[in-house]
Amino acid sequence: MSTSPEVEAGARSRILGAAAEAFMRNGFATTTIDDIARDVGATKGLVYYHFRSKFDIFLAVYGEGMRRVRERVEPHSCGDGTGHDRLVAMSIAHLLNLMEDLAYHHVVHQAVRGEPSAALKSRQRETLRDLNRLRKDYEQMFHRVVSDGIDDGSLRRVDAPLATRTLLSNLNAVDMWYRRVEGQTDDDRRELARRIADLLIGGLTG
C-alpha cells in the first residue's frame, strides 16, 4: 500500500530531527542508523527507505538547517532601517533560530569543521559542494548588510569581510554554551538574543 506525500514528508522530517539530535549528542562518527531509528521509534528499514546512507542523512540535516536559518533571517536583510538596524535584526533572528534548532546548528558546524570523514560518492560530493555554497551565500548576505551600514554611516568604517566573519563566528559560537532551560519562554530567548547581539555589534558602532 502506498503512503500519501504528507505521511512520507512527516516520516522524513522525524528522521531528520532525530538524526540532528543524535549527531549533536554523539557526533557523526559514533552515531549509527540504529540510534536514529530508535529515536524515531521506527525500524532501520524505514530510515533506509528515505535515505541511502548515514552520510546522506547528514547532508539532508545540513541542508534543512541552512534552509531554516535562511528562512528566518533573510527577510530582515532587506527590511527598512539602516544597515545597523538590519544587522541587529538579522543577528537576533539567527540566534533565535540557533536556540530553537540547536541540533541543526551543531550539524552545520560539524560539516564546516569537516568532521564526517567518509569516502564520498560523486553525488554526495556534489551535494556537499552545493550546501557549502549555500552557506557562503548566507555569509554574503551578512556582508552586504555590514557594507550597507558602513556606507550609510550607521556602522563605523571597518574591514567588512573581517567584521562579517567575526560576527558570524561569535553568533555561531553561542551553540557551544547555550542549552535549553526548563521554563524558558520565547520572550526569555528573545531577550537573551537581543543582549548577545547588542554586545557583538556594539564594537561596530561609534
Q: pLDDT-derived band of residue 4, with 50, 70 and 90 as boundaries?
A: low
Q: Which of 82, 109, 77 is nearest to 92 (CA)?
A: 77
pLDDT digits (tens, 9 = 90+) for 104-149: 999 998 887 776 766 778 888 888 889 999 999 999 999 999 999 9
pTM above 0.75, yes or no: yes
Are 28 and 116 a contacting pair, CB within 8 Å? yes
pLDDT value of position 117: 62
Which uninterrupted H or E stretch holds 14? helix 5-26
- Average pLDDT of the chain, as a whole number: 90
For residues 150-168, average pLDDT:
95
Q: Which three cell numbers stand for residue 56?
A: 546522506
pLDDT value of position 121: 81
b/e sequence 156-182, b meaning 16+ C-beta within 10 Å? eeeebeebbeebbebbbebbeebeeee
Q: pLDDT-derived band of residue 5, with 50, 70 and 90 as boundaries?
A: low
pLDDT digits (tens, 9 = 90+) for 19-71: 999 999 999 989 999 999 998 888 889 899 999 999 999 999 999 999 999 99
For residues 188-197, average pLDDT:
95
Spatial distance between the Cα atoms of 173 and 169, rounded to a whole number of angstroms: 6
Ramachandran region, residue 83 (left: φ > 0; alpha: ψ -120 to 50; beta: rest): alpha
Q: pLDDT-derived band of residue 1, with 50, 70 and 90 as boundaries?
A: very low
